[in-house]
């Protein structure tokens, strides 16, 4: 037993002696030698130069650390400048003694870092390093069976203690050489540290020139260490928008868990232009809130609410996305209303070749995922003085070949209203009512029924019809087949109709005209059957009956014309003699 204890003692003494010798040896190595080893290793690994032109200090003792000034890392040969990364000062420290108590006490400080990530015209990034040696494939490793752990049995191996994590005066630039675009972000101050048990976070930065600020706490260090839920509370600004995050994070092992309520309020959505990278319209009163949650390896949102309260446009969106990673479990309801549609177009700087009805309202619900996204409860209402349009329907899958159906109703007081929207004068006839029922299957549209009625004092028209197939050909031509049409027209005021159209006819016209026909076919071959037209006036009756084999190319015309006149003198008023 004594011999065993002696062996243990000598071994321990030997280890301690070796550690002391190693410690003394490391102390004797100059900082310049450490610098050469570090810069040489970086160049060997990346093929680029790492230069440290200022002070370089390696700390070995109760504190393990590294301090360096004027650090530069070379850019790719084709890069737009010499350095990919530079910094005025870098400090990294690890306190040794707290490690024996299970505490990881670290300090990281970085002053004036300037980072450039860029791609050339071929899309190669300057972060792709070349050492001159062919890349080696990693050796194959056998997969170990996954081990399941009971919930709550996880914890961090050491307690993190962030004495100070601080970045000051950072400049980050990403230059896209393929699309000739550039993004720039700056960080005046980013600081994270432990204050008691709390972990305060402060950020003052800019993105594309727009200020970004965030301040608050990311929880309790003891709760992070114990792998328990910890409260999160952050407030800030994105340009002129107010941002707030409240909730909890944790446990983070074995899978991250978090539930954060996010709210964003902006007086005008144009404040997000720098973040969107595109010009945004001048629309007022944005209020967004949602709950971001992650559990069991799945990211999602719920309680999503978006409201836009602009005098020209009202938008209300509510819903949730169960899985953001797969973009599935989408359940969203939206309503868009505008009572100033034409003014809205002008405000959006859209081409205003035509005016719009003043009131437009759209409601819909969207459900599903990126493979099958359904549209239900669709309701479109377009209203103006003398105009009322209603469209309701649903689509099984707007991303694929899903079936759908829609009902359309149009009430028009006068056809001249259409002319007002398109900027052209159109003869006034009305009122007009139209009703249509449509359905779709495999991207093919079917007009199940159509009814049009015009009841003008001078002209009555009734049209009923259907079309089995409305589609586009391989040449992107518009195709309609299976057409069935039944139409009638009657007037006792032919002269009034001519006057409205604006045609000057220097002779009298018959007083009465009646027309009826049946038609069937397609846009390539449309047949007219049972054509009957009659013209009547006191003492005169003219009838035209017949068929047309194809009205599209005006072929196969067969007509029969008859007329009865009580006295040929009656014809003089029609002939003008």
* C-alpha span between 376 and 396 (Å, rounded): 8
pTM of the predicted protein model: 0.79
Q: Long-range contacts made by residues 253-258, C-beta under 8 angstroms, separation at least 24?
A: 253/154, 253/155, 253/156, 253/227, 254/149, 254/154, 255/294, 255/295, 255/296, 255/297, 256/294, 256/297, 257/229, 257/294, 257/295, 258/232, 258/292, 258/293, 258/294
Q: Quick check: 184 and 199 in contact, CB under 8 A?
A: no
d(CA 201, CA 568): 103
SS3 84: strand
- How many other C-beta atoms can be found within 10 angstroms of the C-beta atom of residue 253? 15
DSSP category for residue 119: B
The set of residues, in sequence order, having a beta carbon less than 8 Å from that of 213 and lying 6+ positions away, is 203, 204, 205, 236, 237
- The CA R_g of the chain, rounded to the nearest whole Å, is 40
Place of tokens 């070379």: 74
Confidence at residue 356, expressed as pLDDT on a 0 to 100 scale: 80
What integer pLDDT is reported at residue 355 of this predicted model?
75
Per-residue DSSP letters for 351-387?
--SS---SEEEEEEEEEE-SS-EEEEEEEEEEEETTE
Q: Would you state the pLDDT for residue 8?
A: 58
Find out whether 369 and 328 touch, Cβ atoms under 8 Å: yes
The tokens for 122 are 């071929």
Q: Which runs of consecutive H residues, i.e. helices, occur in 195-264?
A: 221-225
> What are the residues whose beta carbons fall under 8 Å from the beta carbon of 90, sequence distance 6 or more?
66, 67, 68, 69, 71, 109, 110, 111
Residues 325, 326, 328, CA angle at the centre, nearest 5°? 120
Task: Output the tens digit of pLDDT for each of the chain's 577 residues.
Answer: 554 444 554 454 555 445 445 445 455 467 788 888 889 999 999 999 999 999 999 888 888 889 999 999 999 999 999 999 999 999 999 998 888 888 889 999 999 999 999 999 999 999 998 754 555 565 565 555 545 445 444 556 778 888 999 999 999 999 999 999 999 999 999 999 999 899 999 999 999 999 999 999 999 999 998 889 999 999 999 999 999 999 999 898 888 999 999 999 999 999 999 999 888 888 999 999 999 999 888 999 999 999 999 998 999 999 999 999 999 999 999 999 998 887 777 766 655 566 788 899 999 999 999 999 999 999 999 999 999 999 999 999 888 776 899 999 999 999 988 888 877 888 999 999 999 999 988 778 899 999 999 999 999 999 999 999 988 777 777 889 999 999 999 999 888 888 888 888 777 788 899 999 999 999 889 999 999 999 988 888 899 999 999 998 989 999 999 988 877 776 766 666 5
CA 548 to chain centre: 52
Q: Among the residues of 249-349, which ranges form H helices?
A: 273-276, 341-347
Neighbouring CB atoms inside 10 A of 165's CB total 17
Structure tokens at 379: 């309701």
Report the alpha-carbon distance of residue 446 to residue 448 in Å, rounded: 6
């Amino acid at each position: 037993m004594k011999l065993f204890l002696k062996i243990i003692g000598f071994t321990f003494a030997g280890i301690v002696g070796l550690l002391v010798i190693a410690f003394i040896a490391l102390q004797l190595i100059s900082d310049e030698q450490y610098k050469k080893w570090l810069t040489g290793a970086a160049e060997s690994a990346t093929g680029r130069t790492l230069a440290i032109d200022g002070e370089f200090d390696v700390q070995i003792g109760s504190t393990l650390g590294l301090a360096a000034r004027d650090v530069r890392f070379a850019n790719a040969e084709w890069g737009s400048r010499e350095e990919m990364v530079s910094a005025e000062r870098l400090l990294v420290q690890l306190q040794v003694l707290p490690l024996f108590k299970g505490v990881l006490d670290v300090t990281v400080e970085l002053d004036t870092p300037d980072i450039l990530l860029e791609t050339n015209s071929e899309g190669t990034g300057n972060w792709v390093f070349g050492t001159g040696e062919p890349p080696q494939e990693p050796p194959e490793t056998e997969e170990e069976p996954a081990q399941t752990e009971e919930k709550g049995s996880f914890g961090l191996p050491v307690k993190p203690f962030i004495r100070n994590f601080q970045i000051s005066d950072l400049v980050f630039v990403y230059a896209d050489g393929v699309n000739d675009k550039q993004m720039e972000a700056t960080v005046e101050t980013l600081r994270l540290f432990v204050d008691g048990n709390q972990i305060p976070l402060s950020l003052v930065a800019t993105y594309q020139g727009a200020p970004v600020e965030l301040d608050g706490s990311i929880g309790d260090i003891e709760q992070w260490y114990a792998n328990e839920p910890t409260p999160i509370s952050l407030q800030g600004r994105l340009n002129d928008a107010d941002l707030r995050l409240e909730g909890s994070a944790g446990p983070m092992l074995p899978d991250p868990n978090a539930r954060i309520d996010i709210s964003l309020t902006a007086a005008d959505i144009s404040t997000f232009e720098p973040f969107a990278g595109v010009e945004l319209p001048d629309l007022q009163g944005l209020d967004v809130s949602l709950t971001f949650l992650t559990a069991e390896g799945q990211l999602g949102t719920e309680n999503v609410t978006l409201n836009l309260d602009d005098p020209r446009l009202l938008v209300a969106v509510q819903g949730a996305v169960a899985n953001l990673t797969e973009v599935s479990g989408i359940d969203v309801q939206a309503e868009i209303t505008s009572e100033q549609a034409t003014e809205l177009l002008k405000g959006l700087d859209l081409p205003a070749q035509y005016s719009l009805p003043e009131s437009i309202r759209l409601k819909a619900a969207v459900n599903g995922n990126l493979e099958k996204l359904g549209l239900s409860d669709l309701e479109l209402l377009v209203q103006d003085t003398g105009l009322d349009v209603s469209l309701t329907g649903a689509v099984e899958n707007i991303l694929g070949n899903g079936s759908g159906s829609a009902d359309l109703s149009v009430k028009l007081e006068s056809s001249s209203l259409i002319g007002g929207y398109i900027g052209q004068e159109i003869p006034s006839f009305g009122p007009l009512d139209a009703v249509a029922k449509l359905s779709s299957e495999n991207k093919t549209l079917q007009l199940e029924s159509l009814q049009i009625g015009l009841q003008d004092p001078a002209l009555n028209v009734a049209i009923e019809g259907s079309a089995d197939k409305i589609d586009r050909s391989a040449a992107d031509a518009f195709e309609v087949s299976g057409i069935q049409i039944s139409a009638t027209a009657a007037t006792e005021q032919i002269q009034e109709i001519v006057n409205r159209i604006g045609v000057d006819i220097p002779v009298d016209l018959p007083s009465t005209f009646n027309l009826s026909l049946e038609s069937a076919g397609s846009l390539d071959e449309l047949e007219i059957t049972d054509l009957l037209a009659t013209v009547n006036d006191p003492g005169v009756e003219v009838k035209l009956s017949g068929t047309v084999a194809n009205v599209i190319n005006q072929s196969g015309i067969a007509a029969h014309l008859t007329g009865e006149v009580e006295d040929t003198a009656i014809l003089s008023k029609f002939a003008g003699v």
